[in-house]
């Protein structure tokens, strides 16, 4: 009896080579170049948007206080008066932090705050001052305001209400002026801005005080 051994041949399956995807050096340089171009285009606009938001905040804050003063006047018939007392009593002039009184009376939801300047609540305030004669020379610190560009004090009456913002960057002061007064009532031939609702004495790089006219009676 013959035993036959049948041999089977096994054919091994060829190994499959897996290709790993990767960037070439040229592709990486191209991606970095695109990122650099986008950054150069977008970063200045981001900073511009942030700056615009800061100036808008100051404009809105001043407008809010102005409306609150109008409501206060409509209710009590005078500006320099404390409506929280019974009966209401006169307050001294000049006086700072008038926004705190408006807050106590319910005409404001929060104290006067802006996102320009140093944010010092002692120096950034809403001030009531005695109105000055029409012949008063307007400067960067008094309560006289040249509202019409006529180089004379227009805020004539009994009292003047103004927002005072301390230690403001010069560019921020200029932007605030352009937003409230326009470019025609900006810096004059003296290099200072004494015209319109926004006034300040120019200093580089920080203006010590920016005064913003709110109202007068």
Instruction: Give the number of other CB atoms < 10 A from CB of residue 126.
Output: 27
Q: Which carries the bigger pLDDT value, residue 79 or residue 14? A: 79
pLDDT at residue 16 in the model? 53
The pair phi, psi for residue 159, each rounded to 5°, is -135, 155
CA–CA gap between residue 193 and residue 31 (Å, rounded): 48
pLDDT at residue 34 in the model? 84
Torsion 141-213-129-107 (CA) sign: negative
Structure tokens at 161: 């209400």
Q: Average pLDDT in the 34-53 region?
A: 80
Q: Average pLDDT in the 8-34 region?
A: 66
Is the pLDDT at 43 greater than 80? The verdict is no
Topology classification of domain 37-216: TcpA-like pilin (3.30.1690)
Report the predicted TM-score, pTM, of the whole model to 2 decimal places.
Answer: 0.80
Is the pLDDT at 104 greater than 90? The verdict is yes
Is the pLDDT at 14 greater than 70? The verdict is no
Is the pLDDT at 187 greater than 90? The verdict is no
């Amino acid at each position: 009896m013959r035993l036959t051994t049948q041999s089977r041949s096994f054919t091994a399956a060829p190994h499959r080579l897996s290709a790993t995807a990767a960037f070439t050096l040229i592709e990486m340089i191209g991606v970095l170049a695109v990122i650099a171009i986008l950054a150069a285009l977008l970063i200045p606009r981001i900073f511009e948007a942030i700056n615009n938001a800061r100036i808008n905040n100051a404009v809105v804050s001043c407008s809010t206080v102005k409306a609150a003063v109008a409501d206060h006047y409509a209710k009590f018939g005078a500006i320099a008066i404390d409506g929280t007392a019974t009966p209401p009593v006169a307050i001294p002039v000049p006086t700072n932090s008038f926004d705190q009184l408006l807050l106590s009376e319910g005409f404001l939801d929060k104290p006067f705050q802006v996102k320009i300047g140093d944010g010092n609540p002692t120096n950034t305030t809403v001030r009531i001052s005695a109105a000055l004669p029409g012949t008063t020379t307007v400067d960067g610190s008094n309560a006289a305001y040249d509202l019409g560009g006529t180089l004379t004090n227009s805020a004539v009456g009994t009292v003047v209400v103004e927002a005072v913002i301390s230690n403001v960057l010069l560019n921020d002061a200029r932007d605030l002026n352009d937003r409230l007064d326009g470019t025609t009532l900006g810096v004059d031939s003296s290099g200072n801005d004494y015209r319109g609702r926004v006034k300040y004495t120019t200093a580089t790089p920080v203006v010590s005080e920016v005064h913003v006219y709110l109202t007068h009676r």
